[in-house]
Amino acid sequence: MAIQQQLDNDLQQQREAMEALLGKGRSKGSMKIKKIGHCCLIIETKGIRIMTDPGVFSTAQDQEKDIAIVLITHEHADHFHIESVKNVLANNPSAKVVTNTAVGKLLEAEGIAHELLEDGGSVVLNDIVFEGHGEHHAVIYKELGQVQNTGFFIDGTLFYPGDAFVNPQKEVAVLALPCAGPWMKLSEAIDYALFLKPAKAFPVHDAIMKNPAMMQGMLSTVLEKEGIAFVPMGEGDTQEF
């Protein structure tokens, strides 16, 4: 009888641990993410469509419709292409651009309105909470490419850090994980994911890779063993989180 009771207790503890793990990845509602390419994403939550970083490594964003908000982390061309921004806004004239001071100055020069969101700040748009995290782009070499970078926490669920390994100082359900670039290496991406310990992660910042699937396979092998569900995504892929 005592043995059966112990088995029952162990089973209950396993169930509770599994529920806690799954619960970490749940948001108040489902979030659908489409990867246009590199760091350009279409995020759908609460019926609102949000675009991130329309840059030069993709063009499909120029045809997207029903975009309510455009988030821009920093001014590098792979994240911010002014002609693409103009095309997106032409197709979505009511869309609001949200970014930091550095990108804001470039938008002002083009007569494009925007709302500021930077490190430590938050704003509610369309009943969705957006938070800004981080101040600087990760180091490439000394001052080369050093610009202001703002990561975005979206709807209490998704953290997209831009080009930096920013710690948002809070639990992350879904992480947009940078995978490759002149400012990072794979081991740093893995360490970053292990440090934040999201329930789920998917790859971004991978357009310079000739074989993204190989790198994604490595990430999956390591992260899955640590209890992080890695969701491979290529250009045009859509996943629900």
At 4 the pLDDT is: 52
**pLDDT tens across 47-68, in order?**
999 999 999 999 999 999 999 9
Report the pLDDT value the prediction gives residue 154, as an integer from 0 to 100: 98
Is CATH 3.60.15.10 what the domain over 28-240 is classified as, yes or no? yes
Q: Give the per-residue pLDDT at 27.
A: 45
Q: Which residues of the chain have pLDDT under 50?
A: 1, 7, 11, 14-15, 17-28
Q: What distances in angstroms separate CA 64 from CA 43, 58, 88, 91, 117, one per listed residue? A: 12, 12, 7, 7, 23
Give the per-residue pLDDT at 16. Answer: 52
> In sequence order, which residues have a C-beta less than 8 Å from that of residue 153 and are 6 or more positions away?
129, 130, 131, 132, 133, 159, 168, 170
List the domain boundaries for the chain: 28-240
> Which residue do the tokens 């693409």 mark?
84
Give pTM, 2 decimals. 0.87
The torsion defined by the Cα of 197, 198, 204 and 205, in degrees rounded to 10, comes to: -30
Question: pLDDT at position 3, please?
Answer: 55
**Cα angle at 101 between 85 and 43, to 5 degrees?**
45
**What is the structure's pLDDT at 30?**
87
Measured from the Cβ of residue 183, the count of other Cβ atoms closer than 10 Å reads 20
pLDDT at 10: 53
Q: Could you report the per-residue pLDDT of 2-50, keeping only the tens digit for each?
A: 555 554 555 455 445 444 443 443 444 589 999 999 999 999 999 999 9
Q: Residue type at 108?
A: E
